[in-house]
Structure 1
Amino acid sequence: MKKFFILTPIIALIFTSCTQEQQNKISRSVQNITGINGVVDIYSGGKLVQRWLKVDKLTTGYTADNKIKPYQYGYGYLDKNFNYKVDPDEKKKLYFQVTTFSTMIFYENPEQ
Structure 2
Amino acid sequence: MKKLLFFTAVLFIITGCTQEQQNKIGRSIQNYTGVNGVVDIYSGGKLVMRFLKVDKLTTAHGTDDNQPRPYRYAYGYLDKNFNYKIDPDEKKKLYFEVTNYETYVFYENPVQ
TM over 0.5: yes
Q: Secondary structure at the match of 1:105?
A: strand
- In structure 2, runs of 5+ residues without a counterpart are none
Scaled by the length of structure 1, the TM-score of the pair is 0.78
Structure 1 residue 3, shift from structure 2 partner: 5.8
CA distance change for structure 1 residues 86 and 2 in 2, over 3 Å: closer, same or farther? closer
Mapped pair 1:48 → 2:61: no
CA RMSD of aligned residues (A): 2.4
**1:69-104 deviations in whole A, cap 9, x for unaligned?**
000000000000100000000001111000010000
What's the CA shift string for 1:49-77, capped at 9, x where partnerless? 10000001000001132211000000000
Match for 1:46: what amino acid? G
| Counterpart for residue 71 of structure 2 | 71
- Contact 1:36–1:56 under 8 Å retained in 2: yes
1:100 aligns with 100
Give the secondary structure class of the aligned counterpart of 1:57: coil
Fraction of identical pairs, as percent? 65
Which residue is equivalent to 2:90? 90
TM-fit CA distance, 1:5? 5.6
Unpaired segments ≥5 residues, structure 1: none
- Give 3-state SS (helix, strand or coil) of 1:30's partner: helix
Per the normalisation by structure 2, the TM-score is 0.78
Change (3 A) 1:28 1:5: closer
Task: Return the letter of the residue paired with 1:59.
Answer: T
